[in-house]
Amino acid sequence: MSARNPPPPGPQPQRHEHVPRKANPLRRGSDRFEARICRILLLILVLGLPAASLGTGLAAYQSAMQTVRTQSAERYEVDAEVVSAGETVPATKTQQAQVRWLDEAGTARTDDTRVEAHTPEGATVRVWVTQDGAVTVPPMTQNQAVTTGWFTGTAAAAGFAAVIYVTRKGMRHELDRKRYAQWDAEWERVEPLWAARFRR
């Protein structure tokens, strides 16, 4: 300070140092408990989220790849002749048709499938069939297996995070309920004393 503005006489106010949170007298036991649980939940989230996501996604991918291998071994694509064709469905731009093909043993097979709209009878189409001689859908591809793994892993991560969030919210709600009950009990004890003071 300059000489023109001398400090006021008397003891000067002391500068308060930063009070650690643990030493804060206003910090309740429930506050310390909540902070401890939050740190534990954060640790679980940091360590468990990658493990749950990667583990679930990898398991889904491996299962899907097993399906890819199984379906690829059981299904094959053949040239089939359209024997008869039904009416075109405008909503799907396809039509029901009966097709005929020769299986691996040279036996003629027939089955119903959907073909592109306005496919004439006698046309040749490519269809996927099983070893039992039934028309089926194409086998799952490796790209679909990868997509399944990523989708499942992402869903697992979201679910894991949601569980942590709900746990955190539920704990906070229960602690707040107990705090409000404690405040009500303390106010019931203190309120008569305050009311008596103001009646004087």
Name residue 81's beta-bridge partners. 100, 124
Using alpha carbons, select from 150, 155, 137, 140 the residue that is nearest to residue 65.
Answer: 140
Structure-block tokens of residue 27: 């910090």
Please answer whether residues 57 and 157 qualify as being in contact, where contact means their C-beta atoms are separated by less than 8 angstroms: no
Q: What is the pLDDT of residue 200?
A: 56
DSSP reduced 3-state for 63: helix
* Domain over 75-139 is classified CATH 2.40.50: yes
Give CA–CA dist 37/20, Å, rounded: 19
Q: What is the pLDDT of residue 91?
A: 61
Q: What is the pLDDT of residue 86?
A: 72
100: left (phi over 0), alpha (psi -120 to 50) or beta: beta
Q: How far apart are the first and last CA of the chain?
A: 47
Q: What is the pLDDT of residue 6?
A: 58
- Give 132-154 pLDDT, tens digit per residue: 888 999 999 999 999 999 999 99
Structure-block tokens of residue 67: 């399906």
Which pTM value belongs to this model? 0.66
Q: Domain ranges in the chain?
A: 29-69+143-198, 75-139
* Burial of 101 from C-beta contacts in 10 A (0-12 / 13-18 / 19+): buried
Give CA–CA dist 194/187, Å, rounded: 10
In the chain, which residues have pLDDT < 50? 1-2
Give CA–CA dist 128/113, Å, rounded: 10
